[in-house]
Amino acid sequence: MSRYPSRVQIVDVGPRDGLQNEKQPVPAAVKIALVARLEAAGLRRIEATSFVSPRWVPQMADAAEVMTGIVRRDDVVYSVLVPNLRGFESALPHRPDEIVVFGAASEAFSQKNINCSIAESIERFAPVVEAARAAGIHVRGAISCSVGCPYEGDIPPARVELVARLMKAIGVQHVGVADTIGVGTPIKTQRALEAALRHYSIDDVSGHYHDTYGQALANTLAALELGVWQFDASVAGLGGCPYAKGATGNVATEDVVYLLHGMGIETGIDLDRLIDAGVYISDHLGRPTQSRVAKAILNQRVG
Report the distance separating Cα 133 and Cα 172, nearest Å.
9
Report the distance separating Cα 50 and Cα 37, nearest Å.
19
Report the distance separating Cα 291 and Cα 251, nearest Å.
8
Report the distance separating Cα 94 and Cα 118, nearest Å.
29
Residue 290's nearest CA partner among 303, 275, 302 is 275
- Catalytic residue of the set 116, 145, 149, 241: 241
Report the distance separating Cα 249 and Cα 21, nearest Å.
10
Is-catalytic flag, 241?
yes
Contact 272, 253 (CB under 8 A): no
β-bridge mates for residue 49, sequence order: 80
Output the DSSP codes for 29-64: HHHHHHHHHHHHTT--EEEEEE---TTT-GGGTTHH
Contact 82, 101 (CB under 8 A): yes
Is residue 263 classed as helix, strand or coil in its secondary structure? coil
List active site positions: 241
